[in-house]
Structures are given as C-alpha cells and as structure tokens.
Amino acid sequence: MKLLGTLALLLTAATAHAADVQPAVVFDMGGKFDKSFNQGVYDGVERFKTETGIAYREFEVTNETQREQALRRMAQRGANPVLGVGFAQAPAMEKVAAEFPDTKFTIIDAVVDLPNVQSVVFKEHEGSFLVGVLAAMASTSGKVGFVGGMDIPLIRRFACGYEQGAKHVNGDAEVIQNMTGTTPAAWNDPGRGSELSIGQFDRGVDVIYAAAGGTGVGVYQAAKDSGKLAIGVDSNQNYIHPGTMLTSMLKRVDVAAYNAFKQAMDDSWQPGVQVLGLAEDGVGWALDEHNESLISADMKSAVEGVAKQIIAGDIAVHDYTSDNNCTY
C-alpha cells in the first residue's frame, strides 16, 4: 500500500511540468465574495494570477450535487491542481480524486486521505488562544464574549481556544458564548450578530470575538456603537472600525490557496495533510496602524511570549474537535 502511494506520488511528480499548470478553484455555496472564508481563497488565487500571469478556472456551486460535478468537470478539462474550498466538499473530492489519480487536488479545512490530495487544515485554536490573551488583558470587567456563526464543531474549536487564552491570563475571567444559529444562514446574519453582542455588553462584557463570517460585521458595528472592543476573524478586519477593533485572528486561507497553485507550478506540491498553526504562520493575530493604539507594550510582549511558548510546546492548546469537549 505504501509502495503504491509512493509510486503514485512519483508518477504525479513526473507528469507535472511547470509550464502546463492549469489551476482551477471550486468555491463553495457562500460564493467568492462572502467577505470571509471564500473571499480569502479568492484573494489568494487572484494574487497568484497577478504574480504569474496564469489564469485559473473557477466555479461557484449553487446546490449540493454541483460540488462533485464541478470538481469532476475541472479534472476532465485537464485542470491541475484543483482546489476545493471548505469542509463540505470533502465527500465529493474523495470520489473525484479517486477517479483522477493523476490530478492534484487540494482541499482547505478538511482532510481527504488519498495519495493525490493535499489537505490543508488550520489550528484555529492556537490563533484564538492568542486573541483570548489580548481580550482578557484589554478587558476591565474581567468578562469577555464570543459570538460564533453556525454551531458546528469547527466554530467550537475557535471558542475553546479563545476561552483557554483568556483564562491563561486571568484565571477568574468569565467567557460568555453565543452561537448565531444552526443553519448556514448563521454565517450572514449581521442583525442577529449585533443583537447578541448588545446582550453580552449588557451582561458586563467589554471585548467580543466574532468567528461568524458575515455575521461578524454586526458584532463590530455594535461594539463601535457601544464604545466596546471587538476582535475580527479570518482576514485582517482591523480597518473596519479603527479604534474599536482590538485585533483580528488571522487564518491564512489566502496563503493556503496561493501555495497550492504556486507549489504545483514549482513542482514542489506534496500530497498529505498540512496542519498550519502558529509555527507555520497559518494562524496569528493582526497588528497594524488601525489598532496599534489599543495594544499596549505589555500586551504585545505578553502575546508574543505566549506565541513562543505555544510554538515551543510549553503551552498545549486543547483542540475541541479532538474529543468534542472543551476541558483542558
């Protein structure tokens, strides 16, 4: 089995030449302009296009059956590599990648165990731990909040890391959590995001971390209107409301997307699971001109120290999805 895998690997490496790279991306239902996850991928592949001048094929799925259809059509057209966006594409990619063993597939946010698939997942709990540290240090009330999007294990992983970070700084810190909903609509409900935030502010919270896609916009607005602080997610969202955006937890899907294309072009693309955490710069926190006045020298040195400890393994951040539990 292992031999077969190696053989397939060698074959794929041999058939790929830098010149004939024909990248393709299949965006998920959110669409490439969802201001969040899919758009991060879009930014990454656009950067690849401007830097290399190589155009890519793209498709945005509109229903469940189209995922498999789109991936297969890309592969049939000779697209290589094919990038799938989001955990929902994992079952479809599993089928299609098996049918096209000579095509390179990359999936973001899910693991597909095949010799021609590169799976990129992120340690969101590590990045969330860092912003949890910042939240607890910025908070004067000792109460920090979390607003999640759709209630899925992935988002609970964000919440759990954040809670650990806050308690790491202040053992008495209270973390109040709300999820926006249980359907994909929860990713794009700014009104409810703002409602939940105001509810949390009323209970004494003064910093809220939103991991909720488009819903976060409502959270940031509510923080600005109430003069409290908010933390962005996925991309650097500090610019949205300078002065009340404490920081953003960065999840570099753009880098993952860019790398998938670039590595295929440079012949350095490798199948297997890539787990991008703090050490790999896959997650992190954002400091720029929009929030530098909010981050004191103490906070900066504290969070940098914690980051070093996590990378060194001195602090182990518990991953919610490892046991569907947030006990650490």
Partner 1 sequence: MNTSTVELPDWLEIVVIPLLNIILALFCAGLIILAIGENPIEAVGIMLKGAFGYDEAVGYTLYYTTNFIFTGLAVAIAFHANLFNIGGEGQAYFAGLGIALVVLTLDQYLPALLLIPLAIAAAALFGSLWAFIPAWLQAYRGSHIVITTIMFNFIAASLMVYLLVNVLIQPGSMSPETREFATTAWLPFMHEFLALFGVTVTRTPLNLSFFLALLCCLITWIYIWKTRWGYALRTAGQSEAAAVYAGIKPKRIIITAMCLSGALAGLVAVNELMGVHHRLLLNFTAGYGFTGIAVSLMGRNHPVGIILASLLFGILYQGGAELAFELPKITREMVVAIQGLIILFSGALALMLRPWVVRVYLLMRPSAINAAAS
Binding site for partner 1 (CB under 8 A): 31, 57-60, 62-66, 69-70, 73, 87-88, 110, 151-154, 182-184, 324
Report the DSSP beta bridge partners of residue 207. 144, 229
Alpha-carbon gap, residue 149 to 82, rounded angstroms: 28
Q: At its nearest, how many Å lie between partner 1 and the CB of residue 28?
A: 11
3-state helix, strand, coil in the chain (%, to 5): 50, 20, 30
90 or 315: CB nearest partner 1: 90
Alpha-carbon gap, residue 52 to 74, rounded angstroms: 20
Q: Which of 188, 193, 186 is nearest to 150 (CA)?
A: 186
Q: At its nearest, how many Å lie between partner 1 and the CB of residue 75?
A: 12
5 or 31: CB nearest partner 1: 31
65 or 268: CB nearest partner 1: 65
Amino acid occupying residue 327: T
Q: At its nearest, how many Å lie between partner 1 and the CB of residue 180?
A: 13
121 or 134: CB nearest partner 1: 121
Q: At its nearest, how many Å lie between partner 1 and the CB of residue 157?
A: 10
Strand order, beta sheet including 207-211: 174-181, 143-150, 207-211, 229-234, 245-251, 283-285
57 or 300: CB nearest partner 1: 57
Q: Are 146 and 175 in contact (CB under 8 A)?
A: yes
